[in-house]
Amino acid sequence: MIKRLNPALGICSLLFIIISCASTKSIDNALSKKEQKEGWKLLFDGKTTNGWHTYLQDTVGSKWQVKEGAITFVPAAGRVGGGDIVTNEEFENFDFRLEWKVVKGSNSGIIFDIQEDPKYNATYFTGPEMQVLDNIDGQDKNPETHLAGCLYDMAGSAAVSKPKPVGEWNQVRIVQNKGHLTLWLNGIQTYDGQMGSDEWNAMVAKSKFGRPGRNGLPNPDFANFGKVAKGRIALQEHPGSSSWRNIKIRKL
């Protein structure tokens, strides 16, 4: 004998599932009560660029705009209004997370441990970078250490670089604790190592950050590259358009 289900009971069950799913869905650019208790801090409120400034400047350039709940780099003619943006605050031991997406052919990066000083003309003179890239149509995809999620020009490969298709959001996690650095892209670990170790120094020496200048001598621009495991965090201006949201950090 087949029992007939009570229609009212079925509707109530469906409503319960819908309400449960809605209540557990995370809200962009906001912290849950659990995250607040754990000490997380938002670095982007979803509405303004408060807490950021263009490197070596006091404000954020006009090419960086907040659109649909994301900080977006909007390319425009000329160089005015661009430049990398950095956090007002410096960080040393931290768990840092964000989401990014790019348009076709775009290139960008997350640069950290930046020593903001006029003697360094760019963020990448002192700060290592986690690459952000359209792996298919981006121009800077060779060698493999230039692929999305890799420790730029130092470590990583196509085996661990698994970005979402262009236009979809990618999840980043960077953990640095007493100089020990670990990177993840979409849940896949792309690098794990100790800054300042023999292995680290060898990677730097083989990279563009350690190669000699035109005169054959060490390039003075990178004399302090990756030497200090503390500094500002940057979102990089580069060809194309990039968007960023859910930017948060927890000090360790």
pLDDT, tens digit, for every residue of 151-175?
999 999 999 999 999 999 999 999 9
Q: Identify the pLDDT of residue 19.
A: 42
32-251: CATH class: mainly beta
Global confidence as pTM: 0.89
- For residue 217, what pLDDT is reported? 80
Which H helix or E strand runs over 140?
none
Per-domain residue ranges of the chain: 32-251
Closest CA to 248 of 194, 161, 168, 173: 173
Per-residue pLDDT of 74-132, as tens digits, reads 998 677 899 999 999 999 999 999 999 999 999 999 999 999 999 999 999 999 999 99
Cα angle value 68/55/121 (rounded, 5°) = 140
The pLDDT of residue 26: 79
On the question of pLDDT at 2 being above 50, the answer is: no
Rounded CA gap, 238 and 73, in Å?
A: 9
Please give the full DSSP string across 46-80, using - where no structure is assigned: SS--TTEEETTSSS--TTEEEETTEEEE---SSST
Band the pLDDT of 214: cuts 50, 70, 90. confident
pLDDT bucket at 20, cuts 50 / 70 / 90: very low
Secondary element (H or E) of residue 242: strand 242-251
What letter represents residue 55's amino acid?
Y
Residue 239 scores a pLDDT above 70: yes
Asked if residue 108 lies in contact with residue 251, where contact means CB atoms within 8 angstroms, the answer is no
For the chain, what is the mean pLDDT? 91
The closest of 181, 184, 164, 176 to 249, measured between CA atoms, is: 176
Task: Identify the pLDDT of residue 206.
Answer: 96
- What pLDDT score was predicted for residue 6? 58
Q: By mean pLDDT, which of 19-23, 103-107, 143-147 is the weakest? A: 19-23
Identify the pLDDT of residue 25: 63
For the segment 171-192, the average pLDDT, to the nearest whole number, is 98
